[in-house]
């Protein structure tokens, strides 16, 4: 671009900018004139992240940044493009129109065209991280346009490239996991949504999430954990600080319900059951929730028993889980097939012999029960020691 044209364009943009941001354009022009691309990029990223820059992002991107895009970090170039995309108005990214741009309502079809051009521009061997970043952003728009097949194709492509990297910027992974989670949420694949949503949260600083967004994430994760037929251990979610955002009068019951499921607390479930109708997805899966809490009650009943006392009659299990006696065998077989328990069933004697129960996160009451069991074990060891000493007298085995 002609230096004079750049100076005139930046001068025009400076005059249109808020007074407190006009100094930034002098810095931008200075760095551009001296070809300090790294410093120029950082100033532009800072400016684009300023809320008051919204109306100027797109013209700056099309008429200024594109002219030296090959000289700057491609990941930051894509970041600038994504911020500019919020104002795209349907023109081709590589053919900027001559007229002045005004703030327009965003259209996802136009934005997709913009992002597709951006993706193509950075699809080079040396900038595959930037390509993935742009590709994921395009797939996110496709999700909003209900093009699930197109979004899945892009996400699979992005995932295969990410798997080939030794390392990549956290923001790229975060973008992928967020969009992948949105895809699985749209497909009602709750187990996959749960996994990807947690991976997304692991890639970001939770403090950067507005409270409303944190509550929405925590709410969706909680619902997915409860109604997924592949998630029976909520430990990672229960320990995650985002769950604290549900400590409100409106959503507190959902957090309590999660902890009730974790400890297999049927009484707490019965108390909280009336709230289920507040969440349509939970209400829709009410029968499944009862089956799931019954399994949780079974594993908790086994966990509370010492290892030498885990041969349980069907009658005992029925009393612990409130499941009808004729359905106990099915309940145990379900727990065994899901890997929640390991053991065997004596159908004739109607006894389940359990030798392993899936580990899980413990609350304070469960920890206290474990403490009591350890005290019993310690007492048993002391009794055995005293018995050996009494029987062996002067005979000692080394």
Is the predicted pLDDT of residue 100 greater than 60, yes or no? no
How far apart CA 33 and CA 193 sit, in angstroms, is 48
How far apart CA 67 and CA 6 sit, in angstroms, is 10
How far apart CA 211 and CA 206 sit, in angstroms, is 10
Is the predicted pLDDT of residue 286 greater than 80, yes or no? yes
pLDDT average, residue stretch 385-393? 77
Q: Could you tell me which residue, 86 or 315, shows the higher pLDDT? A: 315
Q: Identify whether the C-beta of residue 193 lies closer than 8 Å to the C-beta of residue 224.
A: yes
Counting residues of the chain whose pLDDT is more than 90, the rounded percentage is 76
**DSSP assignment of 237-280:** HHTSGGGGGG-STTTHHHHHHHHHHHTT-HHHHHHHGGGGGGSH
How far apart CA 259 and CA 361 sit, in angstroms, is 10
Is the predicted pLDDT of residue 302 greater than 90, yes or no? yes
Mean pLDDT of the chain: 90
How far apart CA 103 and CA 53 sit, in angstroms, is 11
pLDDT, one tens digit per residue, over 362-375 is 766 767 777 887 88
How far apart CA 268 and CA 347 sit, in angstroms, is 32
Is the predicted pLDDT of residue 179 greater than 80, yes or no? yes
Confidence of residue 96 (pLDDT cuts 50, 70, 90): very low
How far apart CA 291 and CA 332 sit, in angstroms, is 12
- Judged on CB neighbours under 10 Å (0-12, 13-18, 19+), 211 is exposed
pLDDT, one tens digit per residue, over 143-161 is 999 999 999 999 999 999 9
pLDDT average, residue stretch 159-185? 96
Q: How far is CA 69 from CA 64, 76, 117, 267, in A?
A: 9, 10, 13, 62
Confidence of residue 43 (pLDDT cuts 50, 70, 90): very high
Q: Identify whether the C-beta of residue 63 lies closer than 8 Å to the C-beta of residue 9.
A: yes
Task: Write the DSSP symbol of residue 99.
Answer: S
Q: What is the pLDDT at residue 367?
A: 77
Strand partners, 345: 352
SS3 state at 193? helix
Confidence of residue 97 (pLDDT cuts 50, 70, 90): very low
Confidence of residue 3 (pLDDT cuts 50, 70, 90): confident
pLDDT, one tens digit per residue, over 223-255 is 999 999 999 998 899 999 999 999 999 999 999
pTM: 0.86
Helix residue spans in 203-355 (DSSP H): 211-227, 235-238, 252-262, 266-272, 280-284, 286-304, 314-321, 328-337
| Number of neighbouring beta carbons within 10 Å of residue 389 | 10
How far apart CA 199 and CA 56 sit, in angstroms, is 34
């Amino acid at each position: 671009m002609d230096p004079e044209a750049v100076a005139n364009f930046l001068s025009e943009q400076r005059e249109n900018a808020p007074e407190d941001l006009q100094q930034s354009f002098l810095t931008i022009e200075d760095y551009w004139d001296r070809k300090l691309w790294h410093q120029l990029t950082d100033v532009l990223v800072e400016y684009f992240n300023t809320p008051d820059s919204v109306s100027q992002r797109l013209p700056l991107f099309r008429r200024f940044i594109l002219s030296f895009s090959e000289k700057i970090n491609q990941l930051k170039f894509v970041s600038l493009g994504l911020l500019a995309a919020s104002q795209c108005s349907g023109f081709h990214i590589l053919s900027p129109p001559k007229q002045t741009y005004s703030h327009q309502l965003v259209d996802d079809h136009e934005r997709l065209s913009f992002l597709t051009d951006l993706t193509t521009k950075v699809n080079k061997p040396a900038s595959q991280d930037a390509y993935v970043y742009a590709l994921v952003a395009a797939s996110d728009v496709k999700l909003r346009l209900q093009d699930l097949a197109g979004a899945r194709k892009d996400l699979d492509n992005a995932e295969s490239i990410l798997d080939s990297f030794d390392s990549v910027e956290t923001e790229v992974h975060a973008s992928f996991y967020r969009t992948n989670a949105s895809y699985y949420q749209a497909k009602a694949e709750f187990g996959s949504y749960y996994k990807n949503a947690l991976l997304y949260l692991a890639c970001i600083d939770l403090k950067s999430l507005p409270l409303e967004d944190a509550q929405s994430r925590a709410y969706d994760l909680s619902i997915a954990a409860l109604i997924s037929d592949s998630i029976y251990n909520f430990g990672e979610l229960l320990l995650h600080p985002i769950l604290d955002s549900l400590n409100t009068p409106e959503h507190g019951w959902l957090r309590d319900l999660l902890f009730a499921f974790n400890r297999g607390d049927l009484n707490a479930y019965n108390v909280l059951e009336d709230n289920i109708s507040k969440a349509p997805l939970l209400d829709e899966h009410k029968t499944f929730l009862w089956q799931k809490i019954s399994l949780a009650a079974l594993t908790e009943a086994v966990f509370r028993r010492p290892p030498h006392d885990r041969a349980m009659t069907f009658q005992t299990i029925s009393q612990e889980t409130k499941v009808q006696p004729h359905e106990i065998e099915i309940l145990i077989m379900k727990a065994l097939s899901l890997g929640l328990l390991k053991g065997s069933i004596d159908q004739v004697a109607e006894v389940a012999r359990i030798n392993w129960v899936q580990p899980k996160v413990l609350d304070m009451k469960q920890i206290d029960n474990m403490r009591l069991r350890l005290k019993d074990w310690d007492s048993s060891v002391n009794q055995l020691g005293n018995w050996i000493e009494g029987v062996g007298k002067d005979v000692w085995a080394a």
